[in-house]
Amino acid sequence: MDRAAKMEETPRLEDYLEAIYQLVQEKGYASIIELSDRLEVKPPTVSAMVSRLAKGGYLEHEPYRGMRLTKKGESVALSVVARHSTIFEFLSLIGVDRETAYQDAEGIEHHVQPKTLRSISALVKHMKENPDVLKKLNE
Residue pair 101/88 in contact by the 8 Å Cβ criterion: yes
pLDDT at residue 7, as a whole number: 64
Domain ranges of the chain: 3-75, 81-137
Which helix (H) or strand (E) segment holds residue 59: the answer is strand 59-62
The model's pTM is: 0.84
Cα–Cα distance for residue pair 21/126, rounded to 1 Å: 29
The predicted-structure confidence for 79-133, as pLDDT tens digits, reads as follows 999 999 999 999 999 989 999 999 999 989 989 999 999 999 999 999 999 888 8
The predicted-structure confidence for 71-88, as pLDDT tens digits, reads as follows 999 999 999 999 999 999
If one looks up domain 3-75 in CATH, what number appears? 1.10.10.10
- Section 37-49 average pLDDT: 96
Average confidence score pLDDT of the chain: 90
CATH number, domain 81-137, options 1.10.10.10, 3.30.920.30, 3.40.50.970, 1.10.60.10: 1.10.60.10
Cα–Cα distance for residue pair 75/25, rounded to 1 Å: 14
- The torsion angles phi and psi of 106, rounded to 5 degrees, stand at -60, -40
Cα–Cα distance for residue pair 64/67, rounded to 1 Å: 9
